[in-house]
Every structure is written in structure tokens, then in C-alpha cells.
Chains A and B, each alone.
Chain A
Amino acid sequence: MASESGASAEPAAAPVHPVDAGPAADRGDVLDESIDLSQLEARRLHPSSLFFRLGPTLRSMVLPMLPILLFSPASRTQALLFFGLVPIVVILHVVGYLAYRYHLGPRQMVIRHGVLTRNERHIPYRRIQNIDLRQNPLHRLFKVYEARLETASGGKPEAVMTVLDQTAIDELRAHALPARSTADGDVANDDGSDRPLGAHAAADDEADATRLVTLGPIDLVWVGLVSRRGFVLAAALLGLLSQFDANAPEEMAEAAIRDGMEALNGAGGVAALPAWLGDPHPVTIGLLAALAGVAVIALLQLVSILWAFITFHGFRLIERRDAFRATYGLINRITATVPRRRIQVVNLSRPLLFRWLRRCAVRVETAGGDQDGPDSGRPWLAPTLPDDRVPDLLERALPAMLPAALSDDAADAIDWRPLAPGARGRLLRLRTALVLVVAGGAALLLHAAAALVALPLLMLLFVSVSRHVAYTGYALLDDAIAIRRGAWRRRIDIVPYSKLQVVECAASPFDRRLSMATVRIDTAGAVQRRTLGLRFLDAEDARALYRHLDAVAGRTTFRW
């Protein structure tokens, strides 16, 4: 206990940038604990690590050389000489593999690696937020996993261990994650049956875990439709094409239009058209274009569904001793573990389709985490879940925070507080002006009729702003604040008071003219640059909210 009080006092002596806060604080633990490594068993990575580490290096060495070998006989000797480097690289990797050792101490783990520059990293277990596992098909062949130790230090994982087998991971987990429950006297449950991972361990899982969410094929269809991954993919493809040839997208579009026109005009051959069409009428052309559009959308949505099937194949969320564990993926198998107390924010998301289906997507924001991927730092609890099961999941994620009222239907049961009365007018004024300016410009430059486009746009604007303002607001729950917003895709973010970091109240000159203000909430949630905020609150309401949040946050203790 005494050892850990040093952890937080430490920063005084060694002020560092917040990104380094984790490791810096760790030093405190290390200094006090003075772990004796010689007493601990030195463990190595799985032998196949050599293959997985060597693979990418060799690939990057050999691949560029292949064209030379094949097509340029003159420089073949040099290229072959170059291959003389390969054994050296292999030897370096073998030495590196042998030098990589880790020790599991009572309160912390120590990773030592490096040959010339020796590196010793101490990671106290209580700093470890997650142990995330990844498994690509090759890993699966060897029955090994890549383990990422996530701490709150932000940015990259604290350590990426490539690769460990099932036993090693069980061991690591038993040390790092249940350490707290073991200290809690929860040892009774902690028998050897902790085989938490991968499909083949599923049977063991059920013993003391609660299975919360599983996704069937239909669920995956909904997830795919909502994800619109197909459109993202198509956009990315177009972007890629334009990298090779700046005119590619335009040319392709032109070619498509030309082909279509030719087909319609019969220039390319009337045979291309069904006989019943006869002489194409403009209306027919329009219908055909609409049909083509629908077909393209359908195709892209099919791709989206395919994406969902690959990504979320076999999605399973279990709760086990105060931690959630989601396992999913067809090609790359991912296991994300989220200890409940690490949850900073819970996001509920209901796109239009989900609202029709009475469904909801649930993810959480945790501190630290890998910022690179789209999903990292914001693990899924459920990509889709029927509304009636959301309260139960929320109750498990944020116990005793009045979650039952947060389903879409029961939203009236809690006291949602709205934005300032003038918010809708303000949003509408600004956006209407914008649309009018653009439409005016188009009318001047192109054709007077172009201004007509403004009409449906303005109608859409009016509807969406009205919906947004009507829905947006906040609610003070027992031990958390909920913020909701969105015109079509509705989102609710729930932040426990104990996870609030900094509260801000801001007012621009425009705000002050209309006596409005913005309240922002900062958390250690992993999504960088995204604070939760409410713009266009009534100024007095905002100030009261600010003081309230400051007061309640001050009364709680933040725990990593």
C-alpha cells in the first residue's frame, strides 16, 4: 500500500508531459517495490515469434529485390550479394528473440529486451487497462496470439508481445487482470479454469462468465447496413485510383455516362437495350438512371454487409469478474478486454435504421488505448442490441446510474434538459444564410434555375435542425451525466461523475449576445480531440451545470 502512494507523489519530482504520465508514475512503484528479478522465472515469447517478427523484415528486404533478380540480369550479382545479408538479419532476430524476456512479479511485470541497448520496462499490473489479443490466420495456424498491453499512457500500447500461446496468455491474465479480485479475496472463483480466449476456449468460458451479447447473421446484416462500409470502401478506391491517375475518377464517370448514353441512343447497339423499351423517352432515361443508382447503393450495401460478416463474425461479449470481454472477427480474431472500472464514457448510438428496428449500438471509451485503428480506444460492447436489452447491459457497465430510463422509448421518464430557446433559430439562421449564399452564387454562375436547389435543401435543413434541437440536451442521473444529441443518428453519451476530468464553460461574443453558453466535459476517454460538449445552452443553465459538475466531480475520486 505504501508502495503505491509514491506513485502519485512521484510526478512532483519528475514533471513530465501527460502522455508520459503512466510510465513516469510507474517509476514510483518500481523504486519502492525494488523487485528482485533473479527471484522470478524469466519467460520467453512463443518460439514462433521468430517467424512472425522475421517475416515482415524479410518480406520488406526480399520483395524489392525480386524485380531486379527477374528482370535485370546485369545487376543480379549485386542482388545476390544483398541476399548475403539475410543470414545476418536472421541471426540478429534470433539474438533479439533470446534477449526478450519477461517476468511476472507479484505487483508488476518486467519486460527486458534489447542486446546493445538493454531495455527494461516495468509495468505495474494496476496500470494495465486491457490485454487485447489479435490473431490473424497465420497466428491461428500456430495457435498463438499477439498480445497488446494497454495502459492509460495514451497513444500506443505499453507493450506489444508478439506472440504468446494460450498458456502464456492465461498466465499473464491471471497475474495482470484478476490481480485486484485476488486481492479482494475473490480467489475462490479463481481456479485454473481461466481459459478465456479464442473459439476453442469458449467452453471453458461459460463456467464463470455471463454471456451478454451474441450476434447472429441477421444482427450482422443490420450492423453492415448501418456501417455503410461499402461507401467508405468505394470512396477509398476512387481515391486510390486518383492517386495513379488524377483524371481517373472523372474519366471513369465520363466513360460510364458515355456508355450509358450510347446504349440509350442505340449508337452502341440497340441490342443492349431490352426490346420493350423501344425508343427511349427522357422519363425512361431518368427512371433507368434512378434504377442504376439504386443498384449501386444496393451493391455497396452488400459490400457493407460482407464487411460486417468478416469483422464481427462470431461476436461474443461476456462479463467475467468485473471485466467485459468481446471476441470477434473472421480473418483477424480480436479479443478486447475492458475492466469495468476503466470505462470512462458509454456511447449509445441509434441510427435511423436502428430506431426503426428498436435497436442500439453500445460502445465504451476507455483511457489509453491504441489510437490508430477505427475501433481502438472505443471497444464495442454490442454493435447492435435490441433496445429492451440495453438497460441490462448499461446496468452492468455503469452500475446504479439510472440507466433503465435511457432506452429510446423511456427517454421521457428522465428529466432531459433542453438547449436554450433560441438555439434552433440561431442554427437555422446561420445555415439558411449559408445555403442562400451558395444557391445565389450557383444561380449567378450557372443558371437561374440552380437556385431552385436551395428549396429542398432548406426544407431538409429545417427538418434536421428542428429534430436536432428537439433531441439535444442533457440529464443528470444519480452518479452520471447523460448527453444526447443528433438529428437522424441519435447518440447518448453517459459519463460517470467519477470520470469527469475538467469542466469548462465558455461563451463567445455571439453566445453572450443571445445569453447562451457552451459547457464542455473532458474525460480520459481515448478518442482524442473529442470532448463532450453542449453548445447553445441557456447561459444561466450552463453556468449552473458547470458548477454542479465541478462540485460533484470534486467529491469523487478518479481512479485509473
Chain B
Amino acid sequence: MDAPSAEPAPTAPHAHAPPPIVDDRSDRDRVNHHDDGDRADHHDDGEVRALDPRIIIVERLAGGIRLLIYGGALFLAVGIALLVQRPGIAGVAAGAGFWLLIALLLGAKAVFWPVIRWRHASYRFGARGLQIRRGVLFRHQIAVPRSRVQHTDVVQGPIERSYGLATLVVHTAGMLHAAVHLPGLAHEDALGLRDQLLDDAGRDARGRDGADDDGV
């Protein structure tokens, strides 16, 4: 069982290896049943890659915009409440303090959270397909096998575009994960991934039709 932490380090500078999704206790090998899956690990799984660090800036900007909207709304709400209630100087101070506290919390989140999120996110693209790992508190690992890719989109929002980033959207036939989003890729990386996935899809379709005609 090679634990994720033993895998090649991410390519991005000063990136930490993404923490394993769960504690690694390979001494307790209760899962010899799955040697099948483990054998496949020795195939070309692709290297674990961190997201483009520019996503941190993009997320900070988005966080900043959210801060402006929520902070502004809260400012208005507190201001109106103060105007209507006309409390003493202590009341005004309390209102302002409350607003400041919330704004500071939101601001701190906007500044630091993207870094933490970035450290916990990685992806891997190899022979088996695309694997995405993310989540700080609630951790998720999603695997999309190559042959299950129906089609792909590369989407760029306005902020993403100005930083040369893009989101890869992989569509599958599944119901819950009908579209798997992978944000935080350099635009050219996203296009490269898309092309590779498409190559596969094409080969796959030909294989399938061949099978059809062979009467399978």
C-alpha cells in the first residue's frame, strides 16, 4: 500500500505533499482483498500535482469581493439599527465593534483560507484517469476513470482569465457527479488535460464500436 504521502512531491514551488485523506496505518493490513487495486497503483498513475498557486490570489480576490458585499450589507444593517434605536455612545461602540469583528473574521478568512485550501488540494492525471483530492475539514477524493469521461469543458471566469487560470469540467454519465469541476489550473494545463482526455474518449469510442460490430 503506498500511501499518498509517499508519492512524488507536487511540482509547484514550496508545495507540501497533500496530506493523506486518512491516517496511514499500513501495518494493519486488513485489505489484502484489494491487491488488485494496489497492483494498478504501480502503473503510470501520473504524478500528484498541486493546483496553480495563482488560484490563491484569485480566491483571495473573490473573498475580498464577498467581504465587500457582506461587510457592506452588514454595515448598512448595523447603521440603520443604530439610527433607529439611537442608543448611547456605548451602543454605537458595541454596534461598530460587532461589525468590525465580523469584518475582520471574514477578512482573515479571505486572506488565509485560500492558502489552506490550496495546500489540501491536488490532482493526478495518469493511465487510470483523473483523481482529485480536496477539502480541509471535509476531505474528498474523487476518481474519474478515463473511459467514463463523456466530454470536457474548459471554463474561465473574468478573474480567472486575468490571471491565466481556468477550470476544467469533466462530464460523466453519473448522476451525482455528472460534472466534476477542477478549478485552479493554468489555462494551458487545462487545455492540455482536456486534449488528453479527448484523445482517450476518441480511442474509446472506436474500441466500443469495434466491439459492437464483433457482436459483443
Residue from B131, B142, B177, B205 within 8 A of A8 (CB atoms): B205
A544 touches B22 (CB 8 A): no
Which one, A21, A183, A545, contacts B213 given CB within 8 A?
A183
Residue contact A180 to B148, C-beta cutoff 8 Å: no
Is A496 an interface residue, CB under 8 A from the partner? no
Q: Do B175 and A550 touch (CB < 8 A)? A: no
Is A546 part of the contact surface with B, judged by Cβ < 8 Å? yes
Interface residues in A177-193 by Cβ distance below 8 A to B read: 180, 183-186
Partner of B151, one of A21, A507, A558: A21
Which one of B38, B137, B175 has the highest number of Cβ atoms from chain A below 10 Å of its Cβ?
A: B175
Least CB distance, A536 to chain B, in whole angstroms: 13
Check B140 against A558 for contact (C-beta < 8 Å). no
Query: In chain B, what residue has the closest Cβ to A525?
Result: B175
Task: Say yes or no: A506-B172 contact (C-beta < 8 A), given A4-B209, A541-B30, A547-B38.
Answer: no
Beyond A4-B205, A502-B144, whether A548 also contacts B34 by CB under 8 A is yes
Q: Name which residue of chain A comes closest to B175, CB basis.
A: A528
Specify the main secondary structure of chain B where it touches its partner. mixed
> Which residues in B have their C-beta under 8 angstroms from that of A530?
175
Once A508-B138, A538-B30 are accepted as A-B contacts, the answer to whether A503 and B143 lie under 8 Å apart by CB is yes
Q: What chain B residues lie within 8 Å of A554 (beta carbons)?
A: 40, 127-129, 145-147
Known contacts: A517-B21, A554-B128. The answer to whether A540 contacts B31 by CB under 8 A is: yes
CA distance A523 to B141 in the complex (A): 17
Contacts of B147 on A, CB cut-off 8 Å?
Answer: 553-554, 556-558
**Does B88 interact with chain A (Cβ within 8 Å)?**
no
Chain B interface: which size bin? 35 or more
Q: B215 contacts A550, CB within 8 Å?
A: no
* B16 CB-CB contact with A under 8 Å: no
A interface footprint on B153-171 (CB within 8 Å = 1, 0 otherwise): 1000000000000000101
Which candidate, B7-15, B105-113, B196-204, is the interface stretch facing chain A? B196-204
Question: Total contacts A to B, CB within 8 angstroms?
Answer: 215
Cβ-based interface call for A31 (8 A): no
Query: Are B139 and A512 touching (Cβ within 8 A)?
Result: yes
Contact of B208 with A by CB under 8 A: yes
Residue B116 at the chain A interface, CB threshold 8 Å:
no
- Complex: A126 Cα to B210 Cα, angstroms: 14
For window 483-508 of A, CB contacts with B under 8 Å fall at: 500-508
The distance in angstroms between the C-alpha atoms of A167 and B26, with both chains bound, is 64
User: Is chain A's interface secondary structure helix, strand, loop, or mixed overall?
Assistant: mixed
Q: Are A543 and B201 in contact (CB under 8 A)?
A: no
Whether A76 is near chain B, meaning CB under 8 Å from some CB there, is: no
For A520, the closest partner residue in chain B by CB is B176
Query: Given A152-B173, A558-B173, are A551 and B205 also a contact pair (CB < 8 Å)?
Result: no
**Chain B residues whose CB sits within 8 angstroms of the CB of A540 once the complex forms:** 22-26, 28, 30-31
Q: Chain A residues near B140 (CB, 8 Å)?
A: 504-506
Interface size class of A (residues with CB under 8 A): 35 or more
Q: Which residue of B lies closest to A185 (CB)?
A: B215
Whole-angstrom CA separation of A186 from B214 in the bound complex: 12
The minimal Cβ–Cβ distance linking A1 to chain B, given in whole angstroms, is 5
CA distance A541 to B150 in the complex (A): 30
Which one of A9-17, A208-216, A426-434 is at the B interface?
Answer: A9-17
Q: How far is the CA of A11 from the CA of B205 in the complex (A)?
A: 12
- In the complex, which residue of chain B has the Cβ closest to the Cβ of A152? B173
| Chain B residues closer than 8 Å to A520, beta-carbon distance | 176
Instruction: Give Cα A316 to B197, complex, Å.
Output: 44
| Given known A21-B151, A152-B173, A515-B22, contact A502–B37 (CB-CB < 8 A) | no
- Complex contact B138–A524 (CB within 8 A): no
Instruction: Please provide the 6 A-B residue pairs with the shortest distance between their CB atoms, ordered closest to farther.
Output: A11-B151, A548-B37, A501-B174, A551-B40, A8-B205, A522-B174
**Chain B residues packing against A (C-beta within 8 Å):** 1, 21-26, 28, 30-31, 33-34, 36-41, 127-129, 131, 135, 137-148, 150-153, 169, 171-180, 194, 198, 201-202, 204-213, 215
Extra contacts besides A19-B178, A531-B175, A558-B147 (10): CB < 8 Å: A12-B152, A531-B176, A539-B23, A544-B34, A546-B141, A548-B34, A550-B40, A551-B40, A551-B41, A554-B145
A-B contacts, 8 listed (Cβ < 8 Å): A12-B198, A21-B150, A21-B173, A504-B142, A506-B139, A506-B141, A544-B1, A547-B41
